[in-house]
Amino acid sequence: MVITFHRSRCCICQCESKCNVYIGRGSGSNTCQANENVLIGHCSGRNICKGDRNVIIGGCAGYSITDGCCNIVIGQGVELPSATSNNTLSIGAGTDRWITGDSSYNIKPGRGITDCDGNTGTNGQVLSSTGGAYVKWVAASGGGGGSGVSQAKATAISMIFG
């Protein structure tokens, strides 16, 4: 059973879908055997038929998903790479993404990673942290001595082999 509210009317739809939460006009309106989805926003997840355990937030977000499972979609009009994607993440607005994640749980920034100073780095730079909450782009260094073995590695080898 699905309960959706539109203006002051309440609509109750009977179907084989169970344990779903739909908030927004037209959200999840084409579900037939979808279970445990959370769809928030006008027409969010509208075409999910058999997809389970999706979290979709934003007007028209996840609109084209049909059978995808375990996806997270956040943002106005955000879609997944495929209508049948599983275990993916997409956060953005429209066709732009701040971050995406694939089914192997790898994440990818949309255009770049900004450090605490607001810089996105340049060729040859790496993100560095002092161990606190501060992250900054710095020039990549080879580390270690001329032998290619860092002091930390040399100490560890010495401790193991004497």
Structural domain boundaries enclosing 141: 125-161
Give the integer Cα–Cα distance in Å for 102 and 108. Answer: 9
Q: Mean pLDDT over residues 139-149, rounded?
A: 60
Work out the angle at residue 89's Cα, subtended by the Cα atoms of residues 48 and 122, and round it to the nearest 5 degrees: 150
Into how many domains does the chain fold? Answer: 2
Are residue 1 and residue 45 in the same domain, yes or no?
A: yes
Given a contact cutoff of 8 angstroms between Cβ atoms, the answer to whether 32 and 47 are in contact is no
Is 35 among the domain residues? Answer: yes
Q: Which of 74 and 13 is assigned the larger pLDDT?
A: 74
> Residues 60-103: pLDDT tens digits?
999 999 999 999 999 999 999 999 999 999 999 999 999 999 99
Q: What is the pLDDT of residue 63?
A: 94
Does 111 or 50 have the greater pLDDT score? 50
Establish if 119 belongs to a structural domain. Answer: no
> pLDDT: is 162 or 22 the higher one?
22
